[in-house]
Structure 1
Amino acid sequence: MPRVLAVSDEIVQPLWTEWLHERAGDVDLVLGAGDLPFDYLEFLSNELDRPCVFVPGNHDVDLSGYARGRGMWLRDGFPARWPGPVGWVNADGQVVDAAGLRIAGLGGSIRYNDGPNQWTERQQARRAGKVARVAARRERRDGRRVDVLLTHSPPKDLGDREDPPHRGFACLHTAVERMRPRLLLHGHIHPHGQPVPDRELGKTRVVNTVGYRILDLPEHVDGNDEP
């Protein structure tokens, strides 16, 4: 049963110290849901020495177009310096396997200005459809479905806000229906001291990870099994 440290949006100062090992030293995987300083993420990666997977938030730099090839980072086919956190895998628009779990990633927020990592509902729906198709091909091949849908923004009407920057994506409802993940982990919605209950979307548990959460996740099961 993999144990996951999930972080997003707010630095938890004790995690940036040796207390990290006391609190999260036994985790198998670290997931980032966006909008954290990259040096903070790199500290977590270096100290825990575990697989680390993230998606960017709307306050992160533009990481699109980068690919690893021929032993170096490329952007649009040319050598480039990777501006993201060292030691982390960017799962935005991808399906990745780590620590016995299959993770689908959809970063960014609803578009509200001209900043990076922002999408209209239609754009995010296209991206989600592409990820769901990749997940379906993988499931047909090896019988494993997505365990975690890692997003920055929440699904619409599931813990989002009414102000334009913090509206959730309606298309995430369809993405969950198609991929059937056990968990949807998101950030973006700061609790400001208020309790943040987990929510349910069908049989998928929706978890706000602002600050940090430690979760025990079941191993993947046969794709024909019910969640």
Structure 2
Amino acid sequence: MKILIVADHKDPLVYSPNIKKRFGEVEIVLGAGDLPLEYYGFIVSSLNRPLFFVFGNHNLKRYNTFKKGEKSSPFNSEGPDPSAVKNIYNDSFGATYIGDRVLRLKSKNLLIAGLGGSLRYNKGVNQYSEFQMRIKMLKMAPRLIWNKWRHGRYLDILLTHASPRGIHDKEDPCHLGFKSFLWFMDKYKPRYLLHGHIHLYSLNDKRVTLYNETTVINTYDHYLLDYEENDG
């Protein structure tokens, strides 16, 4: 299964009349933040594929709309079926917000969770301390434990905006990664952690790192993941 992940920058290879020609085999699209929802809408309408996303620390025009709508989220215990995903919020342009959520994509047997935002560096929106991010993770724990009991694993993909501390991050306060992501990977062992936030300016910049049992990928611009589907 091919998964297209986009983050941080409207990539001309994606934002193109040739998108379907280039990415027609893609079955799922993920957005790792700092992109306008209109861009997600272009991808959804062009590829006719479900798109799941988290917010970053920029392009937050509609962020509060989504946060206010969390309590009326239509997700059930099994998560939405990609074949039935619709425009859950009026402003979503056909994409599905999964910040602070764990869900199962039934038709692909894919367990996915989303944690948006960045490490706090000023008083901006969608920025969190390590403690606040750890609380978000602890709230996910019951569903992750259910996944382990029901499906034999906690999680397949953790979609984030920020990177883990010491993996792909930078030393400036804005681009430091979360130490709590390291704890999450140690405990819940997702197959992938897919993040954005760290811009890549050189072909020599590292994009993929293996951390214990988790492959961490910087999806800046776009990244095409060839995902081996689970049998169980």
TM bin (shorter chain): 0.7 to 0.9
**Residue 34 (structure 1) aligns with:** 33
**Residue 189 (structure 2) aligns with:** 180
Q: Does 1:207 align with 2:214?
A: no
The one-letter code matched in structure 2 to 1:150 is: L
**Residue 158 (structure 2) aligns with:** 149
Cα distance in 2 for residues equivalent to 1:159 and 1:69: 35
Q: Does 1:96 align with 2:103?
A: yes
Evaluate the alpha carbon distance shift between residue 29 and residue 68 of structure 1 in structure 2; reply closer, same or farther with a 3 A threshold. farther
The one-letter code matched in structure 2 to 1:200 is: L
Aligned partners of 2:120 and 2:127 also within 8 Å: yes
Greater Cα offset, 213-222 or 88-97 = 213-222
TM-score normalized with structure 1 length: 0.86
Greater Cα offset, 133-142 or 170-179 = 133-142
SS at match of 2:52: strand
Cα distance in 2 for residues equivalent to 1:60 and 1:24: 25
Shift of 1:112: 1.2
Cα distance in 1 for residues equivalent to 2:90 and 2:124: 16
**Residue 64 (structure 1) aligns with:** 67
Shift of 1:69: 4.4
Shift of 1:194: 4.1
Cα distance in 1 for residues equivalent to 2:142 and 2:165: 22
Cα distance in 2 for residues equivalent to 1:17 and 1:134: 38
SS at match of 1:40: helix
**Residue 119 (structure 1) aligns with:** 128
Structure with higher helix content: 2
Q: Does 1:161 align with 2:163?
A: no
Fraction of identical pairs, as percent: 36
How do 1:42-53 residues align onto structure 2 when only pairs under 5 Å count? Answer: 42-53=41-52
The one-letter code matched in structure 1 to 2:139 is: K
The one-letter code matched in structure 2 to 1:65 is: K
SS at match of 1:16: coil
The RMSD of aligned alpha carbons is 2.0
Shift of 1:91: 1.2
**Structure 2: 5+ residue runs without aligned partners?**
75-87
Shift of 1:68: 7.3
The one-letter code matched in structure 1 to 2:164 is: P
What count of residue pairs does the alignment treat as equivalent?
212
Cα distance in 1 for residues equivalent to 2:53 and 2:192: 15
The one-letter code matched in structure 2 to 1:216 is: D
SS at match of 2:20: helix
The one-letter code matched in structure 2 to 1:66 is: G
The one-letter code matched in structure 1 to 2:209 is: R
Shift of 1:60: 3.2
Shift of 1:138: 2.6
Aligned partners of 2:147 and 2:155 also within 8 Å: no
TM-score normalized with structure 2 length: 0.84
1:19-60 CA-partner distances (Å, limit 9, x unpaired):
111211111100010001111110001111112111110113
Cα distance in 1 for residues equivalent to 2:164 and 2:188: 14
**Structure 1: 5+ residue runs without aligned partners?**
72-80, 223-227
